[in-house]
């Protein structure tokens, strides 16, 4: 991986929020079905996806001078832009007096989410002298002089090695926009230290109460923090221990940012797993990370309690069951953004299903139909939504684009052909290049079949392998969009197992009304780790499968559903290869 990497077993510790050996065992614990059920239970109680807190520092230069007897007194305001285009204010800097080149001290924080595009708007105002003694939060912006505005996406800042971006300020005067004389604004991003502080904890319980009739309880732990609203937000869980009243769980990993601080109270609940999803609460305790560290040092246990109704009031019944902290270690990890800042890039690749089951592209009921009104079809949407997120992490924005399951003009059926029409080059220019090549291919091939994934996965693996051989700093993401269940299942498994040793992740979107249940076997989140024909297991989980119909009925976008796990997959590769990001 070139200059961004060096050998260090700590370098790629997996993202927080699960068991420590998730990279080696797919996070499956003792029972794949139990893990899936517990994950559903956890998600039903809140969102525990990983995130990073980013602190933004601002400065500006060559601002307009709007004062007569002195220079401008600038203040900056940061907004996030919502999907509907409306702006939501994040915060304001202080006012810097008498300066056209201000360096603001006030830092503004934003939560970075890899899986979504986060548009930001920066506005600069000259604050009139009469308002200098008024708190900036109460200032009415329409009473101040507007100096200029700039926009960008958060990923454009954090994906740069310097984590710094300079933008021209635009000044609007009616319908006229002045981009030359309004100055510049520079944004610097820094990842909060708490995101890099990793805690590894091993829990043990003794003498748990039995909640099963014909066997012992199947306990697991769920750890939550309390939000400002009072709601509990799950941040971590253990695996399920079958038939065990004195369990010791595998190490869990969480970062300090997830907990808030070492002093914040955490609720640790012990549940008895039930396959119907209605897990029985065995007992719980409330302790901060500092409390847990002290428990480890003392080697003493803490009694669980159980809220119990007595005369219509709840009281905490102290149980004989105890919780022990067998291990508590704190370390600093390399984050996903550390690797990006060190020079690693993400390279986007696309493979589109051109099998006949998609329907005639010239008819409105086809999944490949190009609507004259400009409304994107499912394939177009998936490419745009995922590509819009990933494109900022690739400097040259040249992406490989393939089709499969079609017959090119005067040729046999191909299961991996270049959408560009070239016989030698698979790359196109940017996301618009992918869309253009896709539309062009619809008029230059005949839809056929069957649905084979193996050839396109092998093509992606070849590119990833060549990049690795040339010591390039790239990690590859292959997006496969399909309308049907794969027919070369074992060949696909073999290709995925091979790809699990490479800097590669595979995203699969199912479009249309097909039953994609059989496809879930490719995603290790839904079952056991894949095995090749020779019995070799995938070294890590590299596949994420999402039926588009499921996404459309929920709150998450296609990109969110597909990309939320990608930083963890990226880090699991770095961990297995003992690769360290350079600063």
The string of DSSP letters for 56-85 reads EEEEEES-----SSS---EEEEEEEEPTTS
Q: What are phi and psi of 96, to 5 degrees?
A: -100, 120
Give the confidence band of 175 by pLDDT, cuts at 50, 70, 90. low
Give the pLDDT confidence of 524-558 residue by residue, as tens digits: 665 567 889 999 999 988 999 999 988 876 667 89
- Please give the pLDDT value at position 34: 55
CA dist 318 and 286 (Å) reads: 13
Q: Which of 170-179, 182-191, 394-403 has the lowest mean pLDDT?
A: 170-179
- Please give the pLDDT value at position 180: 64
- Please give the pLDDT value at position 174: 54
Q: Is the pLDDT of residue 407 over 90?
A: yes
% the chain with pLDDT above 70: 88
Domain 53-193 has CATH 3.30.420.40: no
* Exposure string for 67-77, b = 16+ CB within 10 A, e = fewer: eeeebbbbbbb
Q: What are phi and psi of 209, to 5 degrees?
A: -70, 140
For helices 430-442 and 378-390, give the axis angle rounded to 10 degrees: 160
Label each residue of 515-531 as H, E or C: CCHHHHHHCCCCCCCCE
**Average pLDDT of 301-327?**
90
- Please give the pLDDT value at position 549: 85
- Please give the pLDDT value at position 24: 32
- Please give the pLDDT value at position 58: 98
* Average pLDDT over the chain, rounded to an integer: 87
Domain 14-50+197-332 has CATH 3.20.170.30: no
Give the confidence band of 28 by pLDDT, cuts at 50, 70, 90. very low
- Please give the pLDDT value at position 1: 38
Q: Which residues pair with 74 in a beta bridge?
A: 126
Cβ pair 78, 121 in contact under 8 A: yes
Which run of H or of E encompasses 133? none
- Please give the pLDDT value at position 177: 59
Cβ atoms within 10 Å of 426's Cβ, excluding its own = 21
Give the pLDDT confidence of 458-498 residue by residue, as tens digits: 999 999 999 999 988 899 999 999 998 889 999 999 999 99
**Average pLDDT of 215-225?**
92
- Please give the pLDDT value at position 430: 96
Which of the two residues, 3 and 215, has the higher pLDDT score? Answer: 215
Considering the chain, tell me which residue range(s) the CATH 2.60.40.150 domain(s) occupy: 14-50+197-332, 53-193
**Average pLDDT of 429-436?**
97
Q: Token pair of 431, please?
A: 């996301």
CA dist 434 and 380 (Å) reads: 9
Cβ atoms within 10 Å of 136's Cβ, excluding its own = 17
Residue whose pair of structure tokens reads 């297995």 in the numeric block: 576
- Please give the pLDDT value at position 306: 93
For helices 454-469 and 489-499, give the axis angle rounded to 10 degrees: 10
CA dist 211 and 493 (Å) reads: 40
Q: Is the pLDDT of residue 8 over 80?
A: no
Q: 360-552: what CATH class?
A: alpha beta
CA dist 499 and 506 (Å) reads: 9
- Please give the pLDDT value at position 207: 96
> Closest Cα to residue 285, out of 319, 254, 252?
319
Cβ atoms within 10 Å of 489's Cβ, excluding its own = 16
Considering the chain, tell me which residue range(s) the CATH 3.40.50 domain(s) occupy: 360-552
Q: Which residues pair with 166 in a beta bridge?
A: 186
- Please give the pLDDT value at position 26: 33
Give the confidence band of 312 by pLDDT, cuts at 50, 70, 90. confident
Give the confidence band of 579 by pLDDT, cuts at 50, 70, 90. confident
Which of the two residues, 63 and 68, has the higher pLDDT score? Answer: 63
């Amino acid at each position: 991986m070139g200059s961004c990497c060096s050998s260090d077993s700590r370098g790629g510790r997996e993202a927080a929020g699960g068991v420590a050996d998730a990279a080696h065992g797919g996070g499956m614990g003792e029972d794949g079905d139990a893990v899936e059920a517990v994950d559903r239970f956890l998600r039903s109680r809140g969102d525990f996806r990983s995130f990073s807190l980013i602190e933004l520092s601002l400065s500006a230069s060559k601002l307009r001078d709007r004062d007569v007897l002195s220079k401008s007194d600038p203040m900056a305001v940061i907004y996030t832009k919502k999907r509907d285009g409306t702006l939501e204010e994040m915060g304001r800097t202080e006012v810097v007096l008498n300066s056209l080149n201000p360096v603001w001290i006030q830092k503004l924080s934003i939560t970075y989410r890899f899986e979504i595009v986060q548009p930001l708007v920066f506005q600069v105002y000259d604050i009139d002298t009469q308002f200098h003694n008024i708190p900036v939060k109460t200032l009415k912006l329409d009473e101040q002089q507007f100096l200029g505005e700039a926009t960008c996406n958060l990923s454009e800042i954090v994906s740069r090695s310097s984590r710094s971006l300079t933008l021209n300020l635009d000044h609007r005067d009616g319908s006229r926009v002045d981009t030359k004389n309004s100055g510049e604004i520079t944004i610097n991003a820094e990842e909060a230290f708490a995101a890099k502080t990793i805690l590894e904890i091993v829990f043990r319980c003794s003498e748990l109460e039995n909640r099963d009739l014909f066997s012992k309880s199947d306990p697991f732990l769920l750890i939550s923090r309390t939000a400002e609203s009072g709601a509990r937000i799950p941040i971590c869980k253990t695996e399920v221990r079958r038939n065990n009243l004195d369990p010791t769980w595998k190490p869990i990993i969480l970062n300090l940012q997830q907990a808030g601080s070492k002093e914040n109270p955490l609720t640790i609940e012990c549940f008895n797993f039930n396959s119907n999803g209605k897990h029985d609460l065995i007992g719980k305790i409330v302790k901060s990370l500092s409390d847990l560290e002290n428990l480890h040092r003392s080697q003493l246990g803490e009694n669980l309690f159980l809220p119990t109704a007595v005369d219509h009031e709840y009281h905490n019944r102290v149980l004989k069951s105890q919780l022990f902290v067998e291990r508590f270690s704190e370390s600093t990890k390399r984050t996903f953004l550390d690797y990006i800042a060190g020079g690693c890039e993400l390279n986007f690749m696309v493979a589109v299903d051109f099998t006949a089951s998609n329907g005639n592209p010239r008819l409105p009921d086809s999944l490949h139909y190009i609507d004259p009104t400009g409304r994107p079809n499912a394939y177009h949407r998936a490419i745009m939504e995922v590509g819009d997120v990933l494109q900022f992490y690739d400097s040259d924005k040249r992406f490989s684009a393939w089709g499969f399951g079609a017959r090119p003009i005067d040729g046999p059926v191909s299961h991996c052909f270049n959408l560009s029409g070239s016989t030698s080059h698979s790359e196109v220019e940017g996301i618009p290049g992918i869309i253009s090549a896709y539309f062009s291919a619809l008029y230059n091939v005949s839809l056929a079949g069957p649905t084979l994934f193996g050839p396109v996965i092998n093509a992606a693996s070849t590119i990833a392998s060549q990049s690795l051989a040339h010591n390039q700093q790239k990690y590859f993401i292959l997006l496969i969009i399909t309308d049907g269940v794969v027919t070369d299942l074992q060949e696909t498994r073999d290709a995925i197992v091979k790809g699990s040793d490479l800097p590669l992740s595979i995203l699969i979107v199912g479009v249309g009304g097909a039953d994609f249940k059989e496809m879930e076997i490719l995603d290790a989140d839904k079952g056991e780790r894949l095995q090749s024909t020779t019995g070799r297991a995938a070294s890590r989980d590299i596949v994420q499968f999402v039926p588009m119909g499921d996404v459309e009925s929920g709150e998450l976008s296609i990109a969110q559903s597909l990309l939320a796990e990608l930083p963890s997959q990226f880090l699991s590769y770095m961990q297995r290869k003992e690769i360290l990001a350079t600063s």
